[in-house]
Structure 1
Amino acid sequence: MERETISTENVPPSSPTPQSQQRYNLSMLDQMIPSMLVPLVLYYPYPTDTASPDDPHSFAARFTSRLRRSLSVILTRFYPLAGRVNPDGQSIDCHDQGVPFTVVRFPATRLSDLLSKPDEALPRHLLPCPVTWDSEPGPGSSPALVQLSHFSCGGAALSLVLWHKAADAATLGEFVAAWAAAAQPAESNPVRPISPNYLAQHVFPFRPEIPSGSVSMSEILKTGTSVMRRFVFDKVSVEVLKSSISAKNLTRVEAVSALLWRCFMAASLANGRAYSVLTHAVNLRRRARPPFGPDCFGNFPGLAAASAENREEFGLVKLVEKMRGAVGKIDGEFVERMMGDEGLEGYRENLGLVWRDIPRNADMLSISSWCGFGFYEAADFGFGRPDWVTRCEAGGGPGSKFLNVVWLMDTRDGKGVEAWVVLDEKYMTVFEGDVDLRARAWRDPSPVDNAGGFMQ
């Protein structure tokens, strides 16, 4: 793909960060997150004009200008993202250094052509920096980077990369929503500005005894040579799947997760493993009593773990029950144990609670859901919603070493689920052969339908 760099700059906050906020310490929960990068790509269709990005009257120029201006505005509220990672790797220097903002053009590439047959390498061309599971920002790195890519058809892709120790998916969703709201014309945006709070620093205070780099992806995930597949469950498939599982108030994430776990159990058994364990990332904001608001900046990670013997013929109902039992352990008391100066001891106690009944050497599948964070409906910068949003890469593809990872994304209508699955090739052969999976989901479909529009 031919690529031209139009501009590169650091976008600072529109007003200076107060002196009292010029050092941002991570919370204890932030410290427990591996030092990795989290990418997101939002694809926007071409509206009406065809002019180039350097034409001030074109969509591309207007989109670029609006994004740059509104980014500066919201960085006064999301000020840690405009700073730089300190040498200790445990804090951010917030002297308004600015978010690196790169604008590029692909003069011979149409976005619709790229998306007609998307492959796992596509997002890598659109990111402001290389991203894999083991990408770790060093001292002086920016906690956030942005790239805006323009295509010959007038379409665009907005890419964000965040340092995971600074923010989780919920914070990323709030950031995108705040940015989009700030970009809207004042007359069409009567809602009050979205502002984060920094409660986590005080409720889960920084623990100096936790060394930087104490948690790495190599300690968490299985390693090997991986392949990636994208399985898309549209709203009809989700409803049919849910109707086949007799469970009260079943969510689409629960239904899809249960099916994926059963597929993994078969693959694990075929590769000589007796037990499997499903881990699911849990948003602690919702589990606390009273709940923390979605505007709480930072990381609020919980981990639910449920196990099963691979040889047993588990129905999806039983797997849902196991998942719910694991998630049920993460309650208000679970969160409260980690608060305050004794929070580290509470964290260790919680780890024991989560893993107590898990068999040793169980084959682990890790699922993280980004469903419900509003990356479609909230990401209208004044020119319409994105047509496709991707978490884009979680380590799959050539050169990747991490395995048994799944992340779930909304479909555009918010009623379906995209499951991005990274497995060992031998596992994937069995996994994707499951009869129910083949009946319920499309494998690696284009988000563009035959009529040139986007899948709902």
Structure 2
Amino acid sequence: MESVIISKENVKPSSPTPLHLQSYKISMLDQICPNMVVPVILYFSSPGENLISHTIDSLKRSLSFILTRFYPVAGRISEDDLSVDCKDQGVPFSVVKVAARLSDLLKNPDPQLPMRLIPCAVTNDEKLGMNGTIAMTQVNIFECGGIAIGTAFRHKIVDGFTMVSFLSAWAATARVSSEPVCPNYISQSLFPQKEEISNQADFVGSVLKMGKSIMHRFVFDASAIGQLKAASNIKRPTRVEVVLALIWKCFMVASLSNGKQVSLISQPVNMRRRARPPFPSDCFGNFVGLSAASSTNEDKKELGHLVKEIRDDANKIDHDYVNRMLGDKGLLGCIENLQPSVSKILEADDVLLVTSWCSLGIYNVDFGWGKPIWMTRCEAGNNSESIFMNCVWLNDTRSGDGVEAWVVLDEKYMEVFENVEEIKTYASKDPSPLD
């Protein structure tokens, strides 16, 4: 797939950031978040003949406008990683012409495809990654007129919910919508920054395993999810719960076959709706707690048992959990909250890290020429070195009633995992997103 860079520029806010907002202190929850690149690629059919130039102009104008509201996104991280210098430096914005038809590429997507559609490397190496920026954008234009908007965000400043909020607000502005687009910046006061936390603190980053990996997409349609819910014998299980339980069950088989006795599944939980009263949904920053459920790798672990383990541990992130971290004494509460999960993670033989973007509304991001035909992250290509090994990322299917699971495992683990009968029964492996 050949590509040519057409243009590069920094898109700056349409109006200057006021002086009193030009230094954005990150919150305590931001401090403990991994300093990693999170890529998001949205694929769209052609907006129409001879409209590409207009489309690019519209994207730049709307991005410039929305940056006045999401002003930290246009800034640069400080050297000590404790604040964002918000002097309207802008978001790097590149336009790339791709010598291929998008429809052809999506018939049988190459695992490496998303990596070629984003503006930076997915790495913890600052020189190869975002180099101080908070967000970057690459607009890829295909021969058929199709478009892929590749973005990269700095996780230490924003969580998945904020990323989707930003993309939704940008899209709403592009289509001249009157929807509200101003985020809420209360995290700094709710969870004030703590000097005691080292700017090198990155527990999740230290757990990520490096090595040769294999990535496959396992897609669960509505029918399969219905069968899994029935098989769980659990009251009102969610689609995420049953899919995660099945993936964990299959991972246990792979873990046991590699001589490991205890496995753990860990996932971030959105705390906005766990507080009482709930925090506003438009809160900017990281608002996540860490859930960790562990179990021995028994051969015949019941699906319902695993659903209950996942649910029970996630439910520990409640109003009291949130309250312990509020205010000046929040660091002690944070340590108290994290200690059980951290202990289980350190004691487990195998750790499977999971992130779910289900129900965040990413498929509703419409810039004015229709909703995405697909959405991807950017995980490791097969047989490549990965910083995200033994990880799972979940997202909605385009229809909204299914789940797409991107599973990145050690080569030896994937060889076992993909041949477990349950995963073969309930999921389609690497189907075309156009099906």
Please classify the TM superposition score into its range, dividing by the shorter chain length. over 0.9
Q: Is the 8 A contact 1:78 1:196 kept in 2?
A: yes
Amino acid at match of 2:63: L
Match 1:435 to one of 404, 421, 426:
421
CA distance in 2, matches of 1:8, 1:415: 38
3-state SS of paired residue (1:320)? helix
- Give the structure 1 partner of residue 10 of structure 2: 10
Q: Is the 8 A contact 1:326 1:354 kept in 2?
A: no
1:233 matched to 2:220? yes
CA distance in 2, matches of 1:381, 1:395: 29
- Give the structure 1 partner of residue 154 of structure 2: 163
CA distance in 2, matches of 1:365, 1:395: 18
- Which shows bigger deviation, 356-365 or 206-215? 356-365
3-state SS of paired residue (2:273)? helix
CA distance in 1, matches of 2:356, 2:344: 24
Q: Is the 8 A contact 2:102 2:142 kept in 1?
A: yes
Structure 2 vs 1, CA of residues 119 and 179 (structure 1 numbering), >3 Å: closer, same or farther?
Answer: same
1:405 matched to 2:397? no
* Residues 46-89 of structure 1: CA deviation (Å, up to 9, x unaligned): 2442xxxxxxxx22112111110000111000000001111112
1:268 matched to 2:255? yes
- Give the structure 2 partner of residue 336 of structure 1: 323
* Residues 281-314 of structure 1: CA deviation (Å, up to 9, x unaligned): 1111121111112200000121111111112521
Q: Is the 8 A contact 1:36 1:136 kept in 2?
A: no
- Give the structure 1 partner of residue 39 of structure 2: 39
- Give the structure 1 partner of residue 100 of structure 2: 109
In the TM superposition, residue 356 of structure 1 has moved relative to its aligned partner by: 5.5
CA distance in 1, matches of 2:130, 2:63: 23
Structure 2 vs 1, CA of residues 312 and 152 (structure 1 numbering), >3 Å: closer, same or farther?
Answer: closer
TM-score scaled by length of structure 1:
0.92
CA distance in 2, matches of 1:410, 1:99: 28
- Give the structure 2 partner of residue 373 of structure 1: 360
Q: Is the 8 A contact 2:373 2:434 kept in 1?
A: no
In the TM superposition, residue 399 of structure 1 has moved relative to its aligned partner by: 2.2
Structure 2 vs 1, CA of residues 22 and 409 (structure 1 numbering), >3 Å: closer, same or farther?
Answer: same
- Give the structure 2 partner of residue 211 of structure 1: 198
Structure 2 vs 1, CA of residues 218 and 28 (structure 1 numbering), >3 Å: closer, same or farther?
Answer: closer
3-state SS of paired residue (2:351)? strand
3-state SS of paired residue (2:405)? strand
In the TM superposition, residue 360 of structure 1 has moved relative to its aligned partner by: 2.0
In the TM superposition, residue 359 of structure 1 has moved relative to its aligned partner by: 7.9
Q: Is the 8 A contact 2:354 2:392 kept in 1?
A: yes
3-state SS of paired residue (1:68)? helix
* Residues 347-399 of structure 1: CA deviation (Å, up to 9, x unaligned): 1111223356678243111111011111111x111111110011222687512
- Give the structure 1 partner of residue 117 of structure 2: 126
- Give the structure 2 partner of residue 280 of structure 1: 267
Match 2:82 to one of 83, 90, 96:
90
Structure 2 vs 1, CA of residues 393 and 347 (structure 1 numbering), >3 Å: closer, same or farther?
Answer: same
In the TM superposition, residue 140 of structure 1 has moved relative to its aligned partner by: 6.0
CA distance in 2, matches of 1:361, 1:240: 30
Q: Is the 8 A contact 1:225 1:401 kept in 2?
A: no
Structure 2 vs 1, CA of residues 180 and 139 (structure 1 numbering), >3 Å: closer, same or farther?
Answer: closer
CA distance in 2, matches of 1:224, 1:4: 31
In the TM superposition, residue 227 of structure 1 has moved relative to its aligned partner by: 1.1
Match 2:73 to one of 61, 70, 81:
81
1:174 matched to 2:165? yes
Structure 2: segments with no counterpart, 5+ residues: none
- Give the structure 1 partner of residue 296 of structure 2: 309
CA distance in 2, matches of 1:176, 1:421: 24
1:344-355 aligned at under 5 Å gives the runs 344-355=331-342
3-state SS of paired residue (1:225)? strand
Amino acid at match of 1:89: D
1:387 matched to 2:379? no
Q: Is the 8 A contact 2:37 2:154 kept in 1?
A: yes
TM-score scaled by length of structure 2:
0.96
Q: Is the 8 A contact 1:86 1:139 kept in 2?
A: no
- Give the structure 2 partner of residue 414 of structure 1: 400
State the identity as a percent: 51
1:233-252 aligned at under 5 Å gives the runs 233-252=220-239
Amino acid at match of 1:2: E
- Give the structure 1 partner of residue 308 of structure 2: 321
- Give the structure 2 partner of residue 257 of structure 1: 244
Amino acid at match of 1:250: P
How big is the alpha-carbon RMSD for the aligned residues of Structure 1 and Structure 2? Answer: 1.7
* Residues 244-275 of structure 1: CA deviation (Å, up to 9, x unaligned): 22111111100100000000011111111111
CA distance in 2, matches of 1:120, 1:193: 36
In the TM superposition, residue 139 of structure 1 has moved relative to its aligned partner by: 9.3
Structure 1: segments with no counterpart, 5+ residues: 50-57, 450-456
